Every structure is written in structure tokens, then in C-alpha cells.
Amino acid sequence: MFLNYIIQNGLVFLKVLENAYSLNQLFFLFFLFSYLGWILEFVYRSICQVKLVNPGFLKGPIVPLYGFAGIFIQITLLFTAAQPILLRLIIYFTVITLMEFITGELLLRLFKKRFWDYSKDWLNFRGHICLRFSIAWTVLSLVFEKTLYPLSLKSLNHLNDNTLLLINVFVIFVLQLDFIYSSGMIGRLKEVAEKRFIIHQKERFLKGVNFCGGIIHSQNLAIKVSQLPIIIIKKRRRFKWNNKHD
């Protein structure tokens, strides 16, 4: 019964989402919110650290966490727009805090680096989340709901599906290149190639040594075989000389 309830509500959720947004629209909004989030983080961190700081783990101007959070708020509003604002604030607080924790843990494991650290903040957990910033994200979510949400809907009305598709394909291609570079995959591939080259050269060297050793061994054997009659003759003479003296 419980499984059927989940399946039925899941189908209803997908149907409502499909009627509200196309896949191209969701991808476009994700990239847009990721870019706007990067601007927000860039300004905040640069002011706090008194220097220019790239807030993302990618080299380009994008922070995917903001993209996921923005899409989540868009979807939440589809189902809770008529509900009390307190309910939405609780949802924003819980889910976005969870998103931040998962993202921080994944980045730490993938890049062995912290892109933010709340270790010194009160009520933090593993340095990925803390009460102060969870409240800040909740307030920003409400600001987003009242400002960027209606603006994003208007922007979608001015872009047809083909235009959105071209934009999404281009951005995905650029992001793939950025991820390959930022994750250090190029350096790792170079290291693997260099190791394979060194191993190959060692194998060629050892084969050459074995080949030369085989030639030398064959030459020594040939010399010994060619000298065998002389050795036999010398031994026979020595044998005869010994018999005469006996």
C-alpha cells in the first residue's frame, strides 16, 4: 500500500512538472541560477578576503549548488505556492542544508579540498554546514522566490525550445571541458601515459639485453664447439704421453 502510494504520487509529481517545464527549460534555469550564484559568491568572498576569489570548484563562472537549489525552489513553488510561507521556509531550510552538506562531502572526497569551511562557526557539522549559513540560505531562498522566480518565468517566455537547446548543448560542452581540466584528469592522464612509456622503454631495453645476451651466449658456444677438436687432440696427446712414461 505504501509503495503504491509513493508510485502514484511520484507519477502525479512528474506529470505536474512536465506540464510546468520542459527539460530544456529546466537545464537552462539550472545553468542560469548556477551563474547567478557564482556572481553572488564571487562578490561575497572577494569582499571578505579582500582579493578576487573564484568560489567554484570549476574554472568557469558557475556554482552548480545554486543551480540545484534554484531548481528545487522552482519545483517546490509548484506544489506549495498556496501553502503558508512558514511551511516553505522549513522546507528550504531542511533541503538546502542537506544539499550543502552532500555537495561539501562529495567535493572533499573528489578534490581532497574544502571549498568552504564552517569549522569555526557555532553548531557546524563536519565544517560543511552550520546554523548561521543555513538561516542565510533560507532567507536567500525567500528573496529568490519573490524576485528571481518571476523573472525567470518571464525569461522563458522570450526563448523558444530550439534556442534553449542550442544554449544548453553549448554550455554542457564547455562544462565538460572545464570539469576535465579542473578535476586534474589531464594531469592524471599524462602521468599514466608517462608511466606506460617508461614501462614500455624498460621492456624494450630488457628485450635488447636478453637478445644481446643470447647472441653472446651463442657466440661463446660456437667458439667452444669450434675448439672442441683441438681440445680432444690435446687430451689424446696428453693421454699417450702419460702411457709412454708409465
Q: CA-to-CA distance for 145 and 70, rounded, in angstroms?
A: 9
Neighbours of 153 (CB within 10 A): 14
Q: CA-to-CA distance for 101 and 118, rounded, in angstroms?
A: 11
Question: What letter does residue 124 receive in the DSSP assignment?
Answer: E
Whether 130 has a pLDDT exceeding 90, the answer reads yes
Length of the chain, in residues: 246
Q: What are phi and psi of 11, to 5 degrees?
A: -65, -40
Question: Lowest-confidence range among 55-69, 84-98, 202-216?
Answer: 202-216
Query: Mind listing the pLDDT tens digit for each residue in 12-57?
Result: 667 666 667 888 999 999 999 999 999 998 998 899 888 888 887 7
What is the predicted pLDDT for the residue at 212? 53
Query: Mind listing the pLDDT tens digit for each residue in 176-218?
Result: 888 888 777 666 666 766 777 677 666 665 665 555 555 555 5
pTM for the full predicted model: 0.70
- CA 14, 20, 22, 26 dihedral sign is negative
SS3 125: strand
Using pLDDT thresholds of 50, 70 and 90, give the confidence band for residue 89: very high
Q: What are phi and psi of 62, to 5 degrees?
A: -155, 135
Give domain limits for the chain: 2-183
